[in-house]
Structure 1
Amino acid sequence: MSDTAKWYVVHTYSGYENKVAGNLEKMVENRKLQDLIQEIKVPTEKVTEYKDDKKREVERKIFPGYVLVKMVMDDDSWYVVRNIRGVTGFVGPASKPIPLTEDEVLALGVETKHIEVRFAVGDSVRVTSGPLEGFIGTVDMIDVDKNKVRVIVSMFGRETPAELELDQAEPVE
């Protein structure tokens, strides 16, 4: 079995997601399984609801009936998760748990990749990947929350803005 923790999707009865997550956290604490089962999340989003002409902020589950668990898959951890009341099984063929890929984890927003920005607006940067690889431009805007940087590159004698991921640009020394 694997020694590194990966994210797995656990199927639960609808409406039992928070109960399952709470019971699983208690079980991990009681049995001291923190090294096997590391994180438990019920993905939610804040939504503005209008009801009776009143505006309310409500937290809604993104995936009703599912809980995400970061764990090292072995017989013990599988047994503990599988036998929590409200859990119907893992997502995967024939209840064989399949871990989420890194791209899926990033797309779901479960884990965020922190990128250190080593440049500021007005700095010269080199594009390190993509169609403009090798071009040098000036940073016009940085949006850390969206992981974007806008660089003004000179192409064919014209100033052209290019929107890149933060890790696609590096400062020119």
Structure 2
Amino acid sequence: MSEAKWYVVHTYSGYENKVKANIDKTIENRHLEDQILEVRVPMQEVIELKNGAEKAVQKKMFPGYVMIHMIMNDDTWYVVRNTRGVTGFVGPGSKPVPLTEEEMLPLGIQSESIVVDFEEGDTITVVAGAWEGTVGAVQTVNPAKQSLTINVELFGRETPVELSFTEVKKM
């Protein structure tokens, strides 16, 4: 099996977030988490001046494009290509071309991974984000997505929550 690379998908203008949501849903439904690792709409913070006041807003770096970190094969190509709002992969003809490391650098997407010592069953505490201060047992570890899942009690029942490696620490 080949390794995962970043590909660029062209979408209808203004459909970037819908395409991301649709692909994320398809990944979940078809259990392609190990083949399509991440779908991203690159954003940058821009200072806008409105009515004399400066305001920081998030703008799309590449309107009309979505970036996908995936292993290219017939299944993943079909899923992405046939997602509503996708007009095609960026590349000559019908052959998608992955981005090079040099092209990835200015986008701020690091390919190096964080090495962690978490295992299923370990007790961790959340140190950042919405669940800060929560303690839980690790249910699953996903090194490809740099995340893990813990169960959190929500409305009287156990609910799985996915957290980034950077948001947790081992107890």
The TM-score normalised by the length of structure 2 is: 0.63
Runs of 4+ in 1 over 3 A off after TM superposition: 112-115
Determine if the alignment matches structure 1 residue 37 to structure 2 residue 1.
no
| Cα deviation 1:7-60 (Å, max 9, x = unaligned) | 000000111111100110011011100111001110000111111112211100
User: Which residue is equivalent to 1:61?
Assistant: 60
* Equivalent residues, number: 114
Deviation of 1:104 after TM superposition, in Å, equals 1.1
For structure 1, the 5+ residue unaligned runs are 116-173
| Cα deviation 1:45-91 (Å, max 9, x = unaligned) | 01111111122111000000000000000000000000111000000
For structure 2, the 5+ residue unaligned runs are 115-171
Deviation of 1:113 after TM superposition, in Å, equals 4.7
Measure, in 2, the Cα distance between the counterparts of 1:40 and 1:54.
34
Contact 1:5 1:70 in 2 (8 A): yes
User: Which residue is equivalent to 2:87?
Assistant: 88
| Cα deviation 1:89-136 (Å, max 9, x = unaligned) | 000000310001111112221226579xxxxxxxxxxxxxxxxxxxxx
Measure, in 1, the Cα distance between the counterparts of 2:76 and 2:58.
30
Determine if the alignment matches structure 1 residue 109 to structure 2 residue 108.
yes
Percent identity between the two aligned chains: 60
Determine if the alignment matches structure 1 residue 9 to structure 2 residue 15.
no
RMSD: 1.6
Contact 1:14 1:64 in 2 (8 A): yes
